[in-house]
Structure 1
Amino acid sequence: MIDRLIRIFHTLRYLKPVQLYYRVYFVLARKRVVSFFKKKLDDAVPLSVAKLTLHPFSIHHAVPEGNRFVFLNLEKDFGARVDWNYAANGKLWNYKLNYFEFVNDEKIDKAYALALITDYCKAMKNIDWGLEPYPISLRGMNWIRFFVTHKISDPQLNRALYWQFKMLYYTVEYHLLGNHLMENGFALLFGAYYFRDEKFYKKATRILKTELAEQTLADGAHFERSPMYHCILLHRVLDAYNLVASNPWKQDELQTILKQKAAVMAGWLKQMQFSNGDLPQVNDTVEHECEPSVLFQYAQALGIQPQTTALGESGYRMIRTPRFELLIDVGNIGPDYIPGHAHSDTFSFILYVDGAPQLVETGTSTYLPGERRHLERTTASHNTVAVAKCEQSDVWSTFRVGRRAKVISLKEEANAVTATHDGYRSIGVLHERSWTWTNDSITITDKVTGNKSAEAYIHFPPGVQPRMLDAGKIDAGFFFIGLANHTQASVGEYLMAAGFNKLERCACLNIQFTDRLETKISLHAPGQLR
């Protein structure tokens, strides 16, 4: 009981007062707000719909065949009519269904897409999760783009869309903040332009100006430090810029802000990519869920060039040599008040050699609450160190973090990075890790104070099978791993996330030590794969 209270204290202490206030508001008022607007759906309302222009750009989404939908690698065939409340595949799957992203894929049949929208409007009084603020936000923007692209102006559909925006206006997600609040702001901006609604515009600009400043770090990263969510929000910034630049309804600084943020966000994304186009699968970034190359094309089409700034505040560093690319994480998890997509991964790293992944993260395969979701966020699922079988940061539930590691020192040199975190302070331990490198080798040195047992983890991708040559030497195909000062090392197995709801059995190296461990990665000469 005491431990649970301590965990809750460390979880709540970082929340902003506005989050606490609106959590109470959502519990007490949201259902009544939704119920009120459901009753208004049939009410006539005088609407003035603007004839908007948008620069055409299509991003691929899974297009349903008949009423067979595939999201998160899970399929459901609804037969004659879609069940918009379908929950058997989890809440995120239902959210994806309710986003209506598929209506803007160039391959979808216009009449079929319109029929789905019409059916949704007829079912709206009975919709559950789909009328939460986040899916309303994405659906609203997707419907507007679809209507504008196909020059559709249907009074009944516009009325249903308007009442959804009114519902969103009164249920903005101040209790969550972060990417959810930003999406609410972008949606209200689209609603404002489409309906020429001054109230929507005022709230949208207030949210976006505040949150773009708050949520874009100095090096261009989105502050939740997830490359996947960074891509999602960069896409949204580009869409918003497309909207305001193509439709001169308002003349203020928002257009300039959007263009500047899009440039620095694109710059960060470019620096985080590996040379083969991959993104690091960190902090709930899921394989194949985003396409950076398409975003760069979109930015270019809008006249926006990536603006690069040295990686800094996001906590990531990308070391590139002629042979390898090494991404290291020397930052805090965060932001403190919304760490829902954070993992216990301080000082983890990812290694690509000759353009191919060789050391990877476990990754993310699910948001469903349970053992697998928890496992994927824990220290042992990352290429870092656990001490005395404790967690660096107390990840719990589905999106919560209690006590958390803080980086207390960081030193960067031409060919070395050294950092210390205090995630094990509760057991009197500090963990220091340094990376030093040449063109064909990397040496990782771990120091753990307090004379405690520790375990380092190294995860290999599919197709890489390390072989123990002796007690301190491992052949990993493209390189040798040499160990010094370890007490034991063994090759085991783990399940790597290869996408939502997709797992692949792969090899991992577990290394036990006390006080100090040296791990040296020595690349084989090009072409000498063993």
Structure 2
Amino acid sequence: MTKFFLLFNTVKYLKPIQLFYRLYRTLFKPKVTDSWRRKELNQTSLWIHHTFYDETLLGFEEANFLNCNRPLSFPESWNDESPGKLWVYNLHYFEDFLCHASSNKEKFHIDFFDKWIDGNPLGKGNGWEPYPISLRISNVLKAWLGGLNLQERHFQSIYMQASFLSNDLEKHLLGNHYFVNLKALLFAGIVFDKQTWSEVAINGLLKEIPEQINTDGGYFELTPMYHSMILVDMLDMYNLLRAFPERSSKEFIDLIELYVPKMIWFMEQMHHLDGEVSFFNDSAIGIAPSKNTIMSYAKKLGFEPSLEQTDSLLLEDFADSGYMVASSEKLKLIFDAARVGPDYIPGHAHADTLSFELSIGKERVIVNSGTSQYGMSEQRLLERKTVSHNTVEIDGKDSSQVWSGFRVAKRAKITERRCRVDSGNILMEAAHDGYKTLFGGVIHKRFLDLSCDTLTIKDSFSGVYNSAVSRFYFHPSLKVFLDDDILHVVGDAFKMKSNLSGLDVSLKSTKWHPEFGVSIPNSCLNIKTSDSNLELTFEWKTK
């Protein structure tokens, strides 16, 4: 019965179109419906080329994806899922075609593409699934526009892949998968001057961009990592439309120009002062291009960065997305007062409602546990659970019912939220009903009071419960220890302490996962309570 309710509370949020296409995909298989005819394709000087990635293909014998080095043996490696399906997917993305060393790898990339064509028969295997097809089409055509000398068989392959994709758009999923499907179809449609593809792509994106990009610029799946990836997609499409003005749409260009500046600002705010992404929902370093890489690309396309930070604490309330950010040149705090994500696609959500992250200077201090893997493992589930985040777990339950690899049943809803600046301090407050039930339960409310050298956290619990555990995870580079009732946290450029007298505390050894395939020992402060209120203050001095 428990599994039934999990499934019911998951499926009930789906859109009718998702249910329809789930059935459709079981009855009808995609196929190529467009015939290749030899075309004279010319690279345009208007394309602004940019590289994004570190090198991942180390010759034909070895590849490194997700911090996992594996030997290659073709054609078997194309569908060998022993290192994980996501690892194999990466083999089919062809991101190495846009790596920083790509200008010295042209012959290898051409030979690699030949090997892919020979080893991946039409419609068979991982390489023909719509998400890898979408990334590969865009990456190969971007590399060609940047100077890669493709031959007719390569263009024919990309054309057939685009035709296959046009009959396999991921409307059963929607979200970022459908977005990159449409982007790939746009690239193929414009490069090959195939109007039916470009029209499907543009008409779809004119609807999806306002749907998937919130009014404050945040990506609606509410993961900073995917936000960066979608921002690159937006910049790529803008670049493409400017490179082929005779095949573009003014309405579409205007829409991108409206959203990109807001997306850049959101990205800047959701990154820490070390220049890397924050860990809310599915986020990790090294998957999306870095902030500096994206900003360099944006500048080439004419989008200027926002104003630099100041000494004073500034407050940014992304009310539509839900995050609140307090920042200065020396401090950043990001507070998750957001919903778990869009109702119909919360697959990248974590049960992290009312968690926060704190940086002092370029040192991360209080960190969520991160994301090290996808799939169906116990580790994947653990990383999504409330216990892995800087928030409160009540009676051993999750604030939102995360399950399986990418499922969420009952979801926490924000019942109130507000923030303001008061005498130089940043005050943030929010509450959620994730622990509320038909027969009682608890409303969790959190209040944060941040100054340039103190942070006070006040948690209150309205309702009946047995016990609550508030957790604070610290970056592994820090020295963290308890001395009597005083918590000490020592970094390279600061010293922090907190008086924990009267509280039931323990310091646990845990793991931090800043990248896929990476687990680093760190420390977590656990505070147990059965009272209706819990309060503590962190104070620090910079060296």
TM over 0.5: yes
Q: Once structures 1 and 2 are overlaid, which stretch shifts more, 285-294 or 381-390?
A: 285-294
Once the two structures are superposed, the pairs formed by residues 345-364 of structure 1 within 5 Å of their partners are 345-364=352-371
Using the alignment, how far apart are the partners of 1:291 and 1:107 within structure 2?
A: 16
Q: Deviations over 1:131-171 (max 9, x none)?
A: 01111111011111223333635222222211110111011
Instruction: Report the counterpart of residue 78 of structure 1 in structure 2.
Output: 72
Q: Deviations over 1:229-260 (max 9, x none)?
A: 11111111111111110111234311222222
Q: Deviations over 1:284-314 (max 9, x none)?
A: 1112333011111101001112469852222
Using the alignment, how far apart are the partners of 2:397 and 2:515 within structure 1?
A: 28
CA contact (8 A) 2:352 2:385 kept: yes
Match among 118, 121, 128 for residue 117 of structure 2: 121
Quick check: 1:448 aligned with 2:461?
A: yes
Using the alignment, how far apart are the partners of 2:260 and 2:63 within structure 1?
A: 32
Using the alignment, how far apart are the partners of 2:514 and 2:202 within structure 1?
A: 38
Instruction: Report the counterpart of residue 222 of structure 1 in structure 2.
Output: 219
Quick check: 1:281 aligned with 2:298?
A: no
Quick check: 1:368 aligned with 2:368?
A: no
What count of residue pairs does the alignment treat as equivalent?
515
SS of 1:98 mapped into structure 2 = helix
Instruction: Report the counterpart of residue 313 of structure 2 in structure 1.
Output: none
Quick check: 1:467 aligned with 2:481?
A: yes
Match among 42, 53, 56 for residue 49 of structure 2: 56
CA contact (8 A) 2:509 2:522 kept: yes
Quick check: 1:416 aligned with 2:430?
A: no
Q: TM-score, normalised by structure 2?
A: 0.91
- The aligned amino acid for 1:326 is L
Q: Once structures 1 and 2 are overlaid, which stretch shifts more, 410-419 or 160-169?
A: 410-419
CA contact (8 A) 2:271 2:278 kept: yes
Using the alignment, how far apart are the partners of 1:129 and 1:435 within structure 2?
A: 46
Instruction: Report the counterpart of residue 397 of structure 1 in structure 2.
Output: 404
Q: Once structures 1 and 2 are overlaid, which stretch shifts more, 196-205 or 43-52?
A: 43-52
Q: Once structures 1 and 2 are overlaid, which stretch shifts more, 356-365 or 150-159?
A: 150-159
- The aligned amino acid for 2:253 is Q
Using the alignment, how far apart are the partners of 1:461 and 1:151 within structure 2?
A: 42
Using the alignment, how far apart are the partners of 1:64 and 1:153 within structure 2?
A: 19
Using the alignment, how far apart are the partners of 2:11 and 2:100 within structure 1?
A: 45
Q: Aligned-pair distance for 1:277?
A: 1.1
Instruction: Report the counterpart of residue 493 of structure 1 in structure 2.
Output: 509
Using the alignment, how far apart are the partners of 1:116 and 1:151 within structure 2?
A: 13
Q: Aligned-pair distance for 1:485?
A: 6.2
CA contact (8 A) 1:99 1:135 kept: yes
Q: Once structures 1 and 2 are overlaid, which stretch shifts more, 117-126 or 355-364?
A: 117-126
Change (3 A) 1:442 1:44: closer
CA contact (8 A) 2:74 2:119 kept: no
Using the alignment, how far apart are the partners of 1:151 and 1:390 within structure 2?
A: 53
Match among 88, 97, 112 for residue 91 of structure 2: 97
Q: Once structures 1 and 2 are overlaid, which stretch shifts more, 351-360 or 121-130?
A: 121-130
Once the two structures are superposed, the pairs formed by residues 310-349 of structure 1 within 5 Å of their partners are 310-321=317-328, 323-349=330-356
Quick check: 1:65 aligned with 2:58?
A: yes
Q: Aligned-pair distance for 1:376?
A: 0.3
Using the alignment, how far apart are the partners of 1:368 and 1:88 within structure 2?
A: 13
Instruction: Report the counterpart of residue 7 of structure 1 in structure 2.
Output: 6
CA RMSD after TM alignment? 1.9
Match among 507, 520, 523 for residue 537 of structure 2: 520
Match among 503, 506, 521 for residue 522 of structure 2: 506
Q: Aligned-pair distance for 1:195?
A: 1.0
Q: Deviations over 1:415-455 (max 9, x none)?
A: 31121110001252111110112221111111112242111
CA contact (8 A) 2:55 2:101 kept: no
SS of 1:425 mapped into structure 2 = strand
- The aligned amino acid for 2:120 is M
Using the alignment, how far apart are the partners of 2:432 and 2:176 within structure 1?
A: 27
SS of 1:125 mapped into structure 2 = coil
Q: Aligned-pair distance for 1:278?
A: 2.3
Using the alignment, how far apart are the partners of 1:402 and 1:275 within structure 2?
A: 34
CA contact (8 A) 2:371 2:516 kept: yes
Unaligned runs of 5+ in 1: none
Instruction: Report the counterpart of residue 435 of structure 1 in structure 2.
Output: 448
SS of 1:83 mapped into structure 2 = helix
Change (3 A) 1:12 1:44: closer
CA contact (8 A) 1:264 1:306 kept: no
CA contact (8 A) 1:367 1:373 kept: yes
SS of 1:476 mapped into structure 2 = strand
Change (3 A) 1:379 1:80: closer
CA contact (8 A) 1:445 1:517 kept: yes
SS of 1:327 mapped into structure 2 = strand
Quick check: 1:183 aligned with 2:183?
A: no
Change (3 A) 1:142 1:278: closer
Change (3 A) 1:79 1:449: same
Match among 88, 96, 107 for residue 101 of structure 2: 107
SS of 2:183 mapped into structure 1 = helix
CA contact (8 A) 2:317 2:325 kept: no
Give the ranges of 4+ consecutive aligned residues of structure 1 lying more than 6 Å apart after TM superposition: none
Change (3 A) 1:484 1:323: farther
Using the alignment, how far apart are the partners of 1:159 and 1:324 within structure 2?
A: 52
CA contact (8 A) 2:185 2:197 kept: yes
SS of 1:116 mapped into structure 2 = helix
Using the alignment, how far apart are the partners of 1:83 and 1:276 within structure 2?
A: 36
Unaligned runs of 5+ in 2: 308-315
CA contact (8 A) 2:272 2:364 kept: no
Q: Aligned-pair distance for 1:484?
A: 6.6
CA contact (8 A) 2:36 2:160 kept: no
Using the alignment, how far apart are the partners of 1:23 and 1:483 within structure 2?
A: 52
SS of 1:423 mapped into structure 2 = strand
Q: TM-score, normalised by structure 1?
A: 0.93
Instruction: Report the counterpart of residue 17 of structure 1 in structure 2.
Output: 16
Change (3 A) 1:209 1:339: same
CA contact (8 A) 1:223 1:334 kept: yes
Change (3 A) 1:312 1:469: same
Q: Once structures 1 and 2 are overlaid, which stretch shifts more, 125-134 or 13-22?
A: 125-134
Instruction: Report the counterpart of residue 391 of structure 2 in structure 1.
Output: 384
SS of 1:236 mapped into structure 2 = helix
Q: Deviations over 1:160-186 (max 9, x none)?
A: 211110111011000110001110111
Using the alignment, how far apart are the partners of 1:105 and 1:292 within structure 2?
A: 16
Q: Aligned-pair distance for 1:199?
A: 0.7
- The aligned amino acid for 1:75 is N
| Percent of aligned positions that are identical | 31
